[in-house]
Structure 1
Amino acid sequence: MLKAYKYRMYPTKEQEEKFFQHFGACRFIYNWALEQKIKSYEQDGKSISRFDLNKGITILKRDGEHEWLKDVNSQSLQGATLNLDNAFTRFFREKRSFPKFKSKKNPVQAYNVPQNYKVDFENNKIYLPKIGNVKTILHRHYGDGDLKTATVSRTSTGKYYISILVDNGLETPKKSEFSENDTVGIDVGIKDFAITSNGNKIDNPKHLRNSMKRLKVLSKRLSRKQKGSKNRKKARQKIAKIHEKISNQRHDFQHKVSTKLISENQAVVLETLNVSGMLKNHNLAQHISDASWSSFVTKLEYKAEWYGKTILRIGQFEPSTKICNVCGYHNKNITLADRKWQCHDCGTSHDRDVNAAVNIKKFALNTQNLIGI
C-alpha cells in the first residue's frame, strides 16, 4: 500500500539556487516535450513516445545552447516527461483538460526525484542528487517500506517541502461488511459544512470569510505598489501567507472531520455533486470554494481505502431534499430558501438538510438491497 510522508526542508542559499535550477530545467523539459508532442501530431498524425522524448533530452544536453541541463539530475528531467505522459493519459481516459504549458510565474514550483535520494533520521537530513544533504525536520518515521518517488516543492511563501512516496508492503485491507446501523449518509452544505443522517450538524468554519477583511486591506495596498518593486513583492508575500494559513486551517479541519466519520462507520454515503457547475452561481461561488467539498470527499475516499471502509454514492439528480424520508411524499414546491418544511401526507416536520442526509443513506442502501437489515 502506498502512502506519502511530507516533511519541511530548510535549504541553504546555495541549495535554494540549485532548487531553482531544477525547477526551471524540469519546467523547460515539460514545455519542450509538450511542444514536440503537438508538432508530431500535427505533422505526422502520431504521438511521440516518452522514450523518444528521453532520447531527445540527451541530444539537447550535447547542444551548446542547453549544456546547463547537465547540472540537473537527469532522472528528474525524465520525470518531467513522465508527468506529461500522465497528463495526456488523464486527458484521454478521464476527459480532463488538455495539458498546458507551465509558467515560471507560477508561485508553486516542484520537481520529482525518482530514486538515489537518502533519508537520514538520526541527523535530520535528506540527500538529494546534485543538491547534497538538506536539513529536514523528519518528525515521523515511515517504517521499513520501500522508497518510491520523492517530490520537492516550493510554496508561494518560500517554504520548501519534500513528499516521499513509500510502499509499506501491506496489502489494501478488504472492505468490511456494512449494514443499515453502521452506515451514515452525509449531505454537504454551506451554512453547515456537513449534516449526517443521524441528525448531527458540523459547523462550517468559513476560514476564507473570516480572513476576507484583512485580505481586502492587503490587496488594496498591493494595487498601490509600483510594478516590479521590492515593496510590491513584500505586499504579495503578505497576501500569500494569509492564503497559506487559510489552506492549512481548511485541511486541518477536513482531516479531523473525515477521520472521525471513517473511524465511526463502516460505510459512508455521499451525493455526487457537479461542483464546477455550481460555481457558476456567482452568489454562492465563494462560499462553495471556501467549503472545498471536493477536497473533503477526496480525503474520505483515500482514508476509506486505508481502513477497509466503503464509500457509496448516489446520483446528483436524486431528489433527496424534496422527498419525505418517512412516507415518500414528493414536495415539488420546496425552494433553496425553505430550511424547514412539513409533509402534506404524514405531517412530519423536516429539517431540510437532515432529511436530505437520511434520504441519501436510504437511496444508497436501497440500491445495495440492504434496507431493513
Structure 2
Amino acid sequence: MLNLTYEYKLIPTDAQRETFDLWLSICRQVYNYALRERKDWVNSRKCDINACSIRQEYIIPADAPRPTFYTQCKSLAEAKKSNPFLKLPHTHVLQQVLRQLEAAFVAMWERGHGFPRFKKRMRSFVFPQLNQEVVRKFDRNHEVNLPKIGWVKMHLSRPIPQGFEVKQIRIVKRASGYYAMLSLALEVDLPQPLPSGRGLGIDLGLEHFLATSDGELIDRPRFFVDGQRKLKLLQRQLKRKLIGSRKYRQLHSRIALHHEYISNSRKDFHFKTAHYLCDQGQMIFAEDLNLKAMSAGMLCKHTLDAGFGQFLNILGHVCFKRGAYFAKVDANGTSQTCPRCQSHTGKKELSQRMHKCPECGYETNRDVAAAQVVLQRGYTAVGHIAVNFGEGK
C-alpha cells in the first residue's frame, strides 16, 4: 500500500469559512469536555478513601468505568439529543476528535508523552470516510466535495496522480487561509531501498547545519533569529492596541503570517538540502540524536530554529522517494573517535573546531571527522567494508 498526502489551498466562500470556524469551535468544545471527563475520573482515584481533601474532592462512583473512546462516542450520541449544535458537524468529524484524544492518552502511556492539555483552539478536523466523488474539475480551478458542506473551490497546485484513491481529507486552518490535505492510497507493493552504492555520512550541528563525510560544510540559515526583529516590532505595536479592536486583529494576523513564513522557509530549506544529499550518495547515514535533550539545553532556541527533527523526517521521506537507503547510527562518541585509526581522542571543548589525532596525526574539521565516523558506523551496520580516511596524509 502506497500512501501519499497532497496539500491544496482552499478558496471558500464567506458562508463556508464561517462553517469551518463553527465546526472548529465545536470540535474544540467536544475535545475539552471529553478531556475533562477523563481527568475527573483520574483525579477521583488519586487518594485513599480515608484521606480525601477537606475542602473539595471529585465524587465519582467507585464502580464507574474509565472513560474510553467507545464509551465517549456513545455519550456523544446521547448528548446530540439535548444539544442541537452537536448535530451541525458531521458525525465522523466529532468521532475523530475523540479518537485524537484517545491517541494522546496512548502516547502518554506508551511513549512517555505528557498528560494531554486543554485546547485553546482547534486547527483542523478530519473527514475519515468518503463514499462519493471527491474532486472534480471546474474551469481553471478544482473543487473538493466535503460532506454536509458541499463543493469548495481549491487551487490545484499539482495534479492528483492517476490511479490513487482519496481515503480521507483533513481541513487545516492557518494564518494564510484554509488548506485541504488529501490522503491518497494506491494498492501497490513498493520494496524498501536496499543498501548499495556510494555512502555519505552527515553530522548535524549549530556552527554549520551539517557536515558531510566528503568534507563539505553547509551553513545554517537562522530563520527565526533573522526574523525576530520584525516580530519584535509587530508585537510591540500589538501591545499598544485595544484587545479585540480592528487594528489588534490586523496586527495579530500579520504576526501569524510572519510565523508561517518562517516555518515555510525552514521546511523549504530542509527539502532542498535533502534532495541535494540524495544527489551526492545512494546511502545516507545520520546520527540517532536525543532531540528532546538538545531542545532543552542552553542553546535550545537555536536548536529548535534549526529543526533537526523535521529535517531527519524529511530526509527519510526524500530518500525513500528517490530510492536511496537511509539509516541512523549510534551518536555516542562520534566527535571523540578518530576516523583514521579509531583511537579515542577524548572530549573536545566546543571552541575546539579542528580534529587532530595524537596517535596518527590525522587533522580535519571536527564536524567532518564526526561525519566520517558516522559513515564508518553505517557501513559496519549494513555489512559493507568501512573506508579508512586520511590515508597518505
Q: 1:252 aligns with which of 258, 261, 268?
A: 268
Structure 2 residue 358 is the aligned partner of structure 1 residue 344: yes
2:336 alignment partner, SS class: coil
Q: Which amino acid aligns with 1:268?
A: I
2:209 alignment partner, SS class: strand
Deviates more, 1:134-143 or 1:305-314: 305-314
Q: How far off its partner does 1:172 sit?
A: 3.2
CA contact (8 A) 1:118 1:128 kept: no
Counterpart CA distance in 1 for 2:338 and 2:63 is 60
Q: 1:119 aligns with which of 125, 134, 146?
A: 134
Q: Which amino acid aligns with 2:156?
A: L
Counterpart CA distance in 1 for 2:216 and 2:64 is 57
Q: Which amino acid aligns with 1:28?
A: Q
Structure 2 residue 338 is the aligned partner of structure 1 residue 324: yes
Counterpart CA distance in 1 for 2:64 and 2:280 is 54
Structure 2 residue 115 is the aligned partner of structure 1 residue 101: no
Looking at CA atoms only, which structure, 1 or 2, has the larger radius of gyration? Answer: 2
The verdict on how the C-alpha distance between 1:99 and 1:354 changes in structure 2, with shifts beyond 3 A counting, is same
The verdict on how the C-alpha distance between 1:99 and 1:333 changes in structure 2, with shifts beyond 3 A counting, is closer
Q: How far off its partner does 1:127 sit?
A: 1.4
Counterpart CA distance in 2 for 1:44 and 1:11 is 48
Q: Which amino acid aligns with 1:144?
A: G
Counterpart CA distance in 1 for 2:156 and 2:250 is 30
Matching residue of 2:168: 149
Q: 2:285 aligns with which of 221, 244, 269?
A: 269
Equivalences, count: 363
Q: How far off its partner does 1:372 sit?
A: 4.2
Q: TM-score, normalised by structure 2?
A: 0.86
CA contact (8 A) 1:269 1:364 kept: yes
Matching residue of 1:30: 31
Q: How far off its partner does 1:44 sit?
A: 4.5
Report Cα offsets for 1:220-251 as digits up to 9, x if no partner: 21222233322222222221111111111111
2:184 alignment partner, SS class: strand
Q: 2:317 aligns with which of 302, 306, 331?
A: 302
The verdict on how the C-alpha distance between 1:326 and 1:286 changes in structure 2, with shifts beyond 3 A counting, is same
Q: Structure 2 stretches of 5 or more lacking a match? A: 46-61, 388-393
- RMSD of aligned residue pairs (Cα, Å): 2.1
Counterpart CA distance in 1 for 2:68 and 2:215 is 54
Q: Structure 1 stretches of 5 or more lacking a match? A: none
Report Cα offsets for 1:294-319 as digits up to 9, x if no partner: 00011122333444543322233x21
Report Cα offsets for 1:307-359 as digits up to 9, x if no partner: 4543322233x211122211223222521111113222222212011001001
Deviates more, 1:10-19 or 1:49-58: 49-58
Q: TM-score, normalised by structure 1?
A: 0.90
Q: 1:292 aligns with which of 301, 307, 327?
A: 307
Map 1:136-175 onto structure 2 (within 5 A): 136-139=154-157, 140-155=159-174, 157-175=175-193
CA contact (8 A) 1:5 1:142 kept: no
Map 1:1-373 onto structure 2 (within 5 A): 1-40=2-41, 42=45, 43-44=62-63, 46-63=65-82, 66-104=83-121, 109-116=123-130, 118-123=133-138, 124-139=142-157, 140-155=159-174, 157-178=175-196, 182-262=198-278, 264-282=280-298, 284-316=299-331, 318-372=332-386
Q: Which amino acid aligns with 1:265?
A: G
